[in-house]
Structures are given as structure tokens and as C-alpha cells.
Amino acid sequence: MPPSSMFYNQIFLNCISSKIRLAVILLDGNTKLIKNATHKNWLLLGLSVFAISWSGPLIRLAFPIPVLVIVFVRLGFAFLIMLFFSWYLKEKNNYSFTRNSNLLLILAGLSLGAHFWFWTESLKHTSIIISVVLVTLHPIFVGFGAYFFLKEPFSRSLVFGTLIALLGTLIMTGMDTSLQNSLWGNFLALMGGVFFSIFLVISKAMRKQFSTFSYSAIVYGLATLFISFTFIFSDVQFVTVAPSAYWALIGIVVLPQLIGHTTINWTLGVFPAAIVGVAIVCEPIGASLLAVVLLGEIPTLFEMLGALIIVSGVYIAIRSRAVVSNDKKICI
């Protein structure tokens, strides 16, 4: 890795840790919710965001490996790792095999697989910053989904934040006429966020019946099965690619999937889920910096302005939930 890249990465990791601390102070005047968090915990939370920020740039570097192959490898390895930890720790679950519970599990797996499929495909048609920012809208979708399906309280900040995020979306995607900006790619990224929010709402409803690794293994396995079935109905053409593409594919499995998502699941045992959600909103910052360093993809003025407004809207939408939330260990 070039020295300049390491320099930018170190700056980003330090900035994320400090910005998350500042966000929590703004969310709540005291730190009762996070009184047990140590400096190491904050660094791990920053590390998790840093790791998942590599997802977009690494996927772009892994092309022209087919999208379905990238998603299958990513989910398949995650399934095997989670299955091993679930077996090794001898986790016990309190799952009731009812029709509704089984259907929810299947829907969670399908939603997770669709999320990765749609979002990975979007990176072929639009810029990294647009794709990552649009898929990061999922906390807003979760807020509405929790209200309609889990009967959680509805806040005015959710509506206000949603309106701000919509304004930012219009600025970022509607005012950029460059060839890189594709409506199809934007739509795919947005649908990726919708499917991820469905997965999170179901996970929240079922988290008490499963341990973290067991639930992760189940939903990753179902998502992998769903992606494998799509090979039958799709015209996947395997092509010869450079070794760097395969290294990027390995990087996707190791950095954003195993290190990033696994560390996020661990931090959910220390921080309230909504605080972790605030941290994840920082992902577009890291992804954009990495896209500049690794790919030379410099965001346009409208993309940066729209992204800033969207992230602000998402923050406003979830800030009230961060104060009252006690949700932990929701698999993501």
C-alpha cells in the first residue's frame, strides 16, 4: 500500500473514533448508556467502520468477476466462519419452530442476499459515493418499518430527518449530469438499503430467540442458498481476470465481512444499537476517501453536497432513537 494511502487511512481511523464520541455527546448530555465503554471499545468501533468502508472500493477492484460470484463467495465464507464459532462456543438458542418464525427466518435470509446482490450490482453503474450513501439510508427505512411492524414509537425527528435526506438525494442524484451517474445504479443502491432494512427489522424481532453467531450462521446460510439458486436463472459468464481482482475478492471477505461486520456485532454488546448506527453512517466518508486513493474517483461537487445533507438527515432521524434504545446484538 502506498505511504499516502496508509497516511489517509490512519487519519480516517482517528477521525472516526473522535467523531463518534462527539456524536454521542450530541445525542445525550451524559454517557450513562456507554459508561462501560473503554478507549479500546471506541477504537474497535472506529475499526469496524474503517473495515466496512473498504467494501465499495474493493468490489470495484474485483470487477470483472461476476457480481453473483462476489456475493456468493462473501456470504459463503461468512456462513462457514459463523457456523464454526456457533459450534465451537456451543451456543444455546431459544427458537420455537413455528410457521411464522420459519417464514421470518427465510425472509431475513432472502433480504440479506438481495441486499448484497443489489448493492454490489449498483457499483457497476454509479459512483462509489452515491452507491454507499444511498444504501446508508437504511436507518430511516428501519425507523418506519419498526413503527409499522413492531409498533415502536414514532418520532417527529424521523420525519424531519427523512425530508432532509430526500433533499440530499435529489441534489446528489438529480443534479449531476455526468455519464457516471446512472439512474439504474442509484435505484439498485436504494433497493439494497430497503432490503437491508427489512433484514434489520426482522433481526430485531427475532434476536431474543438466537445467539449472535447462531443467527448469523442461519441468515448467512439462507442468503448463500438464495444466491446459489440465482445462478440457475442467470447468465453468469466466467471470464479470465487479473490476479489483483482475486486479491480484491479475498479482501472483501476479510476486511468488510469478517473484520467489519463481526466487529460491529461485537460492539453491539457494548454500545446501544442506535449508537452503532450513528457510527455506520460514517462509512461513506471512508469509502469516498478510499475511492480517491485507490481508484482516483473524485466525487463531484453535487455528490459531496448531497452526501453531506443525506448523512445529516440520517443522523437527525436516528438521534432520538439512540437515547432510548436498548437494542443489542442485532446481527448485521
Instruction: Give me the DSSP letters along 241-265.
Output: --HHHHHHHHHHIIIIIIIIIHHHH
Residue 3: predicted pLDDT? 45
How many whole angstroms separate alpha carbon 18 and alpha carbon 45? 11
* Closest CA relative to residue 295, chosen from 89, 30, 29, 58: 58
In a domain, 329, yes or no: no
Split into its structural domains, the chain has a count of 1
Residue 252: predicted pLDDT? 96
In a domain, 136, yes or no: yes
At CA 71, angle to CA 218 and CA 177, rounded to 5?
130
Containing H/E element for 159?
helix 156-174
119 touches 190 (CB < 8 A) = no
The verdict on whether omega for the bond into residue 299 sits within 30 degrees of 0, i.e. cis, is: no
Residue 247: predicted pLDDT? 95
Please give the C-alpha separations between residue 235 and each of 66, 87, 231, in angstroms, as whole numbers: 10, 36, 7
Grid cell digits, residue 75: 456470504
Residues of the chain where predicted confidence (pLDDT) is lower than 70: 1-37, 150, 154, 175-181, 207, 269, 272-274, 277, 319-332
In a domain, 331, yes or no: no
In a domain, 330, yes or no: no
Grid cell digits, residue 223: 442468503
Single-letter amino acid, residue 138: H
Quick count: other Cβ atoms within 10 Å of Cβ 59?
28
* Closest CA relative to residue 110, chosen from 222, 274, 28: 222
Grid cell digits, residue 161: 430527518
- The residue segments making up the domain with residue 161 are 3-324
Containing H/E element for 209?
none
Containing H/E element for 185?
helix 183-206
In a domain, 198, yes or no: yes
How many whole angstroms separate alpha carbon 145 and alpha carbon 22? 28
Grid cell digits, residue 233: 436463472
* DSSP at 207: G
Residue 36: predicted pLDDT? 63
Containing H/E element for 8?
helix 3-27
In a domain, 332, yes or no: no
